[in-house]
Structure 1
Amino acid sequence: MHLHLHQIIVMTPWKPVLLGIACVVGLLLLLPSSLVLGTPLDDYVNKPDANYRWHDTGRRLKGRFITGSWHGVVLNMTSQSWLSSAEVDLPIWTHNLVILIPKRVEYETAFLLIGGGSNTHGPPTATDELLLLAAALAVKTKTLAAVVYQVPNQPLHFSGDEEHCPRSEDDIIAYTWARFMEDTGRVEWPAHVPMTKAAVRALDTVQAYASRQLNLQVEFFVVGGASKRGWTTWLTGAVDKRVVGIVPMVMDLLKSGKNLHHFYRSLGGWPVSFEPYYFCNVTAKLDTTEFDQLMAIEDPYLYIQRLTMPKLVVTASNDEFFLIDDSIHFWDELEGENHHLILANSEHSLMTGLLKLLSATEAFHLSIAMDRHSMKHTVARSIPWTVGSVVNSRPKCWWSFDRETGRVVVSASEQPLAAILWYAHTISSSERRDFRWLTADSGNCSTVIVGGMCFQPIFFRPRKISISAFDLSSNGTFTYMTTVTLPKVWLL
């Protein structure tokens, strides 16, 4: 049995533009397709905090790529006081903040990468992975870039924690969610709230340093981050008007409650990566008023009326945290300009997709920086786009999906270089909609054990779709067609 024809229809071209992002249907099987009043998140982020300060550590970094050289300035920033010393051992949050400066800066829009890391580690070096990614972007786009670390500050010891152990990453998020649901009047408890304030203070610090020390006026930002920092990226865009573009990576859990139920039904249980939330009883409270109150503060979906800036949402096909089709629950409701980059054959760390991620982010950021520069100087520009030239728009894609026939029609503002269908088969012994590379080892794992987890060899394969028709009478519309075989159980 076969699905009806999947089609990619390319509409009449606009001016040639973007990107290192292919405007195609990647992972076609899985695609679905006035501001909000002040909130507790706004109140917390905007509340003055006398603890905010920064200073230059005097530490300097430098490096060179084929595309050019860069140097980095390491600052120490105190972003806020969170909770109290009676509740947590690190109530004063401090961060390493590195500003990456290319040889030449041409634009007023900077890029902020929100990073993690431990307070027990020393300052970043010139070989730090996040720093190198940001430095490469700065050099290629001729813009300032910055990385803020220790978001959140960690590890943390909480005085009321029955586990009596240091918490980091998801252990912090899960515990603070649980504490908030015990006392919903303490709106500062959910960790993404102070994490968002840390990112906003980083924007302040980059602007201040650039103005005072570099004689550069940074007016706008594109903000990016992965996982918990991806969630923070959404919220930073929601609360700060200086943010004119966001790149949330491996975090598309909008409509969180609905999506979490989707997780459970798809996998027949919780992924092992959700262990902290299970042990903190967060997963048992999804249908409670307290969870709704939590998400009224944290869920990016509640801020979609503000999130009108261009978005490059990056997800991984084999993510062990999130499902590949989370976006079906919210994508059509997003406002503004939205792009979805699914990195094929990549898991939550994105390690196998870094080059594609970097090139796409560079192109996205540079196009926005050029747009803002053109708007500021009132210069109309329409030169065909490549990295390093001028742009005034990004290509657009839109699609429709017939759930009864399986027919997908995708339209684009530009004729693509290629149309590619990515497809994968789940493990033959399982009927679950499970494309994860890493799962819990149940004791009978037949593949490599990675970090105590079982590796599932699920790989997405590309199939190039050839042009099957070109109708000169229809305004230059190209039609690409292919068919795919239905699985035994077709679940959506």
Structure 2
Amino acid sequence: MKVLRLSLFSLALLSNGLFAQTLPVAAACNSQGPQADGSQVLSCYRQQLAQQPLDYWFVDNKQAPREYRYLLNSVLPAHYHIDPSKPPVQVNTYKLNSQSWSPAGLVTPQKWTHDVSIYIPKDVKGTTAVLAIDMTPDVMIDIAQSTNTIVVSLDNIPSVGLIYDNDKTPRIEDDSIGRSFELFMDNPDQRQTLPLHVPMSAAISQTIRLAQLELKPWHVDKFIVTGASKRGWASWLAGISDPSVVAIVPFVADILNTKDIIKHMYKTYGGNWPIAFKPYYDHKVDLDVDKPAFDKLMKIEDPLQYRDSSEASRLAIPKYIVNASGDDFFPADDSHYYYDQLPGEKSMRVAPNSDHMGIEKFMQSSLVPFVNRYQDHVALPTVTVAKSDANNPQQRLVTFSEKPVKVVQWTAVNTDSRDFRYNCGIRYTSEPLTATEANTVNLSLDYSGAGWQARFIEATFADGYVATTQVYITPDAKYPVTAPASKGGSCQTLPGRAQIN
């Protein structure tokens, strides 16, 4: 027999599915026409949606993993695991219409509809929940069981099959984002909510509104937001625009300081682009990087640009940045363009021998210790790197803020190009290191061989938390002048066609 556990508030209004929870709009958002400062677009759009009744309804109720076990064990990859010995988790599912989004009437269909599931463990700890975007049920269940934290799952973000400007082409994922960028830059002052991460971020905030209503018995009002790739990008933006977001864990969203990241990508591949960049290449984003319209796009899209805005303090919320050592999109050393500029509590993990999609294997092992630390008010471990030898500028001293139980040095070499994509056959090898009593290890960046070397240090702590240094590429100042060899599939490049300064 299914047990329906709805809040009294939900039951009272379930007949029409519209839930009135409106919030005031900031004065800066009440002006007519475009926002003079693009950094207000996200917050103003979120506040405008919050003025409208929330449109959602209850769908179902289950016990997990009991009723989920057959499904999980039959369709998920082998690295996923649900422990049936742990207490069951209550799973309530809902449908949410987060918004009707069609700036200037350019996009159809307008309605964004999502599946939202709330995973409630037996003994709930604290008033902060996790909001995870498009992650699998086993990850949700494991986080709930292992941290005693309520987990909210949001699916179908971004909305699929979007058609822009009557071009009769339904688009998804990066193709949809690229098309939204292209149309925004055609008329940036009149299309400020058109970049696709704007409604993506808003869908997160609308889900937070739903969860706050349904979780009133547990007094949940704050959220740790996590997602991968474009959903990780949206996690950054939700953290900036929504004060209910108190921490973020973005996976493979190496996009801060976006313009410099794009230029670094171009140089890394010898004046070419990785094949993963194709959706943006198809929409001519590379041709617009040095144009004023792109700068206006970045005022909305680039999280690092909010340092100089009224939302600057939001960048200081705790953040655990998890990247892939062999990402298909992003060069391994992208973080040098932003990490040291980020304020507040922060930590990084580089997943060794992983491509963009392979980061799924590292989600549970990253999220569980992070959430536990947040709930228990335990600081994140810090990893600092400093020059250690005045006579050898390639020597570094790595210092950990707490004692690691395991330290590993990961190294990869590409003798032909500065390309460390996993799908191009690059593999990092590991070397165990022993930390001193002062919790330090030495890192040598010396390399005199052909091509380039990539290296980073990984530390594992007693609670399973993993933190790394950034990836260091040697020689750092040298870039190739030709494209790396193509091996087909995800190991290809697209020709450069514009002078990127």
TM-score range, shorter chain: 0.7 to 0.9
Q: Give the one of 224, 227, 232 matched to 2:226.
A: 224
Alpha-carbon distance, 1:457 to partner: 1.9
Q: 1:59 to 1:466 in 2, by over 3 A?
A: closer
TM-score (normalizing by structure 1) = 0.75
- Letter matched to residue 441 of structure 2: Y
Is 2:466 aligned against 1:463? no
Is 2:278 aligned against 1:272? no
Q: Give the one of 89, 92, 111 matched to 2:108.
A: 89
Distance in 1 between residues matched to 2:347 and 2:400, nearest whole Å:
12
- Letter matched to residue 197 of structure 1: A
Q: Determine the structure 2 residue equivalent to 1:420.
A: 408
- Long gaps (5+) in structure 2: 1-36, 67-82, 452-473, 477-501
Greater displacement, 40-49 / 254-263: 40-49
Number of residue-to-residue matches in the alignment: 390
Q: Give the one of 104, 107, 118 matched to 2:126.
A: 107
Q: Determine the structure 1 residue equivalent to 2:288.
A: 285
Listed as ranges, the matches of 1:48-447 within 5 Å are 48=49, 50=52, 52-60=54-62, 62-63=64-65, 65=83, 66-83=85-102, 86-115=105-134, 130-161=136-167, 164-185=168-189, 186-211=191-216, 215-268=217-270, 269-304=272-307, 305=312, 306-351=314-359, 354=361, 356-371=362-377, 392-401=378-387, 405-426=393-414, 428=415, 430=416, 432-438=417-423
Distance in 2 between residues matched to 1:136 and 1:418, nearest whole Å:
24
Q: 3-state SS of the aligned residue for 1:76?
A: strand
Q: 3-state SS of the aligned residue for 1:60?
A: strand
Q: 3-state SS of the aligned residue for 1:270?
A: strand
- Letter matched to residue 183 of structure 1: N
Distance in 2 between residues matched to 1:91 and 1:400, nearest whole Å:
51
Greater displacement, 271-280 / 67-76: 67-76
Q: 3-state SS of the aligned residue for 1:425?
A: strand
Contact (CA 8 Å) 1:87, 1:158: kept in 2 or not? yes
Higher relative contact order (CA 8 A, sep 6+): 1
Alpha-carbon distance, 1:53 to partner: 1.3
After superposition, the C-alpha distances for 1:368-407 in whole angstroms (9 at most, x for unaligned) are 1222xxxxxxxxxxxxxxxxxxxx3232221125897211
Q: 1:93 to 1:416 in 2, by over 3 A?
A: same
- Letter matched to residue 310 of structure 1: P
Alpha-carbon distance, 1:343 to partner: 0.6
Alpha-carbon distance, 1:86 to partner: 4.5
Contact (CA 8 Å) 1:110, 1:222: kept in 2 or not? yes
Alpha-carbon distance, 1:409 to partner: 1.6
Alpha-carbon distance, 1:155 to partner: 1.5
- Letter matched to residue 148 of structure 2: K
- Letter matched to residue 292 of structure 1: D
After superposition, the C-alpha distances for 1:152-173 in whole angstroms (9 at most, x for unaligned) are 1101122343xx3210000110
Q: Determine the structure 1 residue equivalent to 2:42.
A: 41
Q: 3-state SS of the aligned residue for 1:296?
A: helix
Contact (CA 8 Å) 1:70, 1:135: kept in 2 or not? yes
Q: Give the one of 423, 441, 464 matched to 1:480.
A: 441
Alpha-carbon distance, 1:58 to partner: 2.8
Q: Determine the structure 1 residue equivalent to 2:3.
A: none
Distance in 2 between residues matched to 1:350 and 1:84, nearest whole Å:
35
After superposition, the C-alpha distances for 1:8-61 in whole angstroms (9 at most, x for unaligned) are xxxxxxxxxxxxxxxxxxxxxxxxxxxx99611211111135363111013535
Q: 3-state SS of the aligned residue for 1:416?
A: coil
After superposition, the C-alpha distances for 1:242-262 in whole angstroms (9 at most, x for unaligned) are 211100110021110111000
Contact (CA 8 Å) 2:143, 2:368: kept in 1 or not? yes
- Long gaps (5+) in structure 1: 1-35, 116-128, 372-391, 439-455, 471-475
Q: 1:67 to 1:341 in 2, by over 3 A?
A: farther
Contact (CA 8 Å) 1:433, 1:491: kept in 2 or not? no
Greater displacement, 80-89 / 251-260: 80-89
Contact (CA 8 Å) 1:285, 1:291: kept in 2 or not? yes
After superposition, the C-alpha distances for 1:238-295 in whole angstroms (9 at most, x for unaligned) are 0112211100110021110111000010012111111111111111110000000000
Alpha-carbon distance, 1:187 to partner: 0.4
- Letter matched to residue 344 of structure 2: G
Distance in 2 between residues matched to 1:67 and 1:487, nearest whole Å:
51
**Identity over the aligned pairs, expressed in percent?**
31
- Letter matched to residue 372 of structure 2: L
Contact (CA 8 Å) 1:107, 1:370: kept in 2 or not? no
Root-mean-square deviation over aligned CA pairs = 2.2
